Amino acid sequence: MKKGDDNNYLLLRIIRQNFDIHALKRSVIIAAIIGSVLTFVNQTSAILGNESLVKFKLILVFVLPFIVISISQVLGKYQAEIDKVDSQFQFSHEKLLKTMVSHNIPVRALVICLIVGSLASVVTLSNFLLHDKNTNIDWYFMSQPYLFSLFFGAFSQAISYQRHIK
């Protein structure tokens, strides 16, 4: 393997080194909670029996939080490992909010938000064009991946960072 090829696999190496069974369990549990809440918010009338569930939305509200939380945990742990090695870093029991706005967490959360939100938008619009041409686009549903990915991405990174920096 050439030295330049090593950088091509950096993300895969980071995931392999920082994603474990505990992170997987946390991701599944948190995604189940968030997905359930979002399903109730987005499809209340279907849950209460007036309409049928939209399976596409049902799948999306569980899969997207799982992806965001999983990636965020990996990146939070990775940043903690970098800061542990940094000899100038002194961990003082930071408040969660301070951690959320430092350690490059906002930048990574914004990148996750833009990537996940864009992918969700493409999938949602494709589904709309293929199946739901007679209805209006649900812009509220379209904005959720961006908003929730940004917040939960930063929140999950901060928690993961604090868990691993100690």
What are the tens digits of pLDDT across the range 127-144?
778 876 667 777 888 888
pLDDT of residue 1: 45
CA angle 113, 117, 123 (to 5 degrees): 155
pTM: 0.83
Cα–Cα dist 103/161, whole Å: 9
Q: What is the pLDDT of residues 104-116, one digit of tens each?
A: 999 999 999 999 9
Q: What is the pLDDT of residues 50-103, one digit of tens each?
A: 788 888 888 999 999 999 999 999 999 989 888 888 765 666 678 999 999 998
Domain coordinates of the chain in residue numbers?
A: 3-165
